[in-house]
C-alpha cells in the first residue's frame, strides 16, 4: 500500500515523495515526505523534510513507532513532524476476499526536548535509537511488549571553538522523540484536513516568531498546546 498525494496540500511545501534522507547512523526513505520551500530557507534544512509519513498495515505497530521515532530523534532535530498511519485490516472470511480496513489511527511524533553533554556518559551508544519507557530493558531482550511512545538518540553535534590544533571539545546532544497525539481518522481526506489545520497554525506563528530561515539557536519547548512546526531547532 502506498501513500500518495497528487500535490502538496500546504503553501510553500514541495513533495519529496519517497526521497532517501541521511539520518544519524543510517539513511532512510519515508512513504511520503514534504519539504519546506519557503523563500530564504536556511540551506541546512533543505536536505531534510519538514514532515514525513509512514504507513503500516503489513508491519507491526511497534515497527511503525520505531520508524517515526527514528525520523525525529535521529535527525538532529531537523525533522519537525512524523505522522504514522497505523492501519488495521479486517480478517478475511475467504482467501479470495479483498482486504477491508477496520480502523486507521493517525499518530503524531514530535521532538519534545534536547539535552547537551560535554562528556559522553559511560556506555552510551552513539547514533542509536533507544526506547525510552518502562519497558526499555525488557523489550531489548524479549518481544511482545507494547509499542513505545518515546525514544531518544544521542549524537555528536559538533566541537567547541578552539585555537588548538586538536580542535575543541566535542559536544553531544540527546534528542527525545515522543508520540504527542493519536487520532482515529476515517480517510486520507480527514488526515489532510487535520494537517492543514496544523500548518495554518504554523504559518500564523511564523509571522511573529520567525520561520526556519536562519541557523537554529534554541531548544524547542514542550509540544503541549498549539503545535508550531516552524520554530528553529537545534542542529549542527
Reading the block at residue 209, the C-alpha cell is 516568531
Cα(180)–Cα(80) distance, integer angstroms: 12
Average pLDDT over residues 196-211: 48
Above 80 in pLDDT, residue 44?
Answer: no
Total domains, the chain: 1
pLDDT digits (tens, 9 = 90+) for 173-186: 999 999 998 988 77
- The angle at the Cα of 100, spanning 98 to 103, to the nearest 5 degrees, equals 160
Write out the residue range of the structural domain in which residue 32 sits. Answer: 13-114+177-209
Is residue 47 classed as helix, strand or coil in its secondary structure?
coil
Reading the block at residue 221, the C-alpha cell is 519547548
* pLDDT reported for residue 111: 92
- Residue 87's φ and ψ, nearest 5 degrees, are -105, 125
Considering the domain boundaries, does residue 233 fall inside one? no
Most confident of 66-75, 157-166, 224-233: 66-75
Considering the domain boundaries, does residue 218 fall inside one? no
Considering the domain boundaries, does residue 214 fall inside one? no
Q: Give the residue among 197, 196, 179 at the shortest CA–CA distance from 110.
A: 179
Other C-beta atoms closer than 10 Å to the C-beta of 55 total 20
Q: Are the CB atoms for 84 and 68 separated by under 8 Å?
A: yes
- Average pLDDT of the chain is 75
Amino acid at each position: 500500500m502506498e501513500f500518495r498525494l497528487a500535490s502538496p496540500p500546504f503553501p510553500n511545501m514541495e513533495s519529496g515523495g519517497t526521497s532517501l534522507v541521511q539520518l544519524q547512523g543510517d539513511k532512510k526513505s519515508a512513504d511520503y515526505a514534504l519539504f519546506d520551500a519557503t523563500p530564504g530557507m536556511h540551506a541546512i534544512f533543505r536536505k531534510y523534510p519538514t514532515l514525513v509519513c509512514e504507513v503500516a498495515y503489513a508491519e507491526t505497530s511497534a515497527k511503525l513507532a520505531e520508524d517515526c521515532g527514528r525520523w525525529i530523534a535521529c535527525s538532529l532535530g531537523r525533522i519537525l513532524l512524523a505522522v504514522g498511519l497505523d492501519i488495521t485490516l479486517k480478517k478475511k472470511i475467504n482467501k479470495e476476499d479483498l482486504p477491508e480496513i477496520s480502523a486507521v489511527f493517525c499518530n503524531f511524533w514530535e521532538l519534545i526536548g534536547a539535552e547537551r553533554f560535554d562528556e559522553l556518559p559511560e556506555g552510551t551508544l552513539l547514533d542509536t535509537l533507544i526506547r525510552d519507557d518502562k519497558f526499555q530493558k525488557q523489550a531489548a531482550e524479549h518481544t511482545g511488549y507494547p509499542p513505545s511512545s518515546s525514544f531518544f538518540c544521542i549524537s555528536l553535534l559538533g566541537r567547541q571553538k578552539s585555537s588548538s590544533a586538536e580542535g575543541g571539545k566535542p559536544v553531544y546532544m540527546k534528542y527525545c522523540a515522543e508520540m504527542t497525539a493519536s487520532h482515529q481518522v476515517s480517510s486520507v481526506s480527514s488526515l489532510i484536513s487535520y494537517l492543514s489545520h496544523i500548518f495554518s497554525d504554523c504559518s500564523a506563528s511564523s509571522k511573529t516568531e520567525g520561520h526556519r530561515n536562519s541557523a537554529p539557536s534554541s531548544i524547542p519547548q514542550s509540544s503541549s498546546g498549539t503545535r508550531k512546526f516552524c520554530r528553529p531547532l537545534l542542529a549542527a
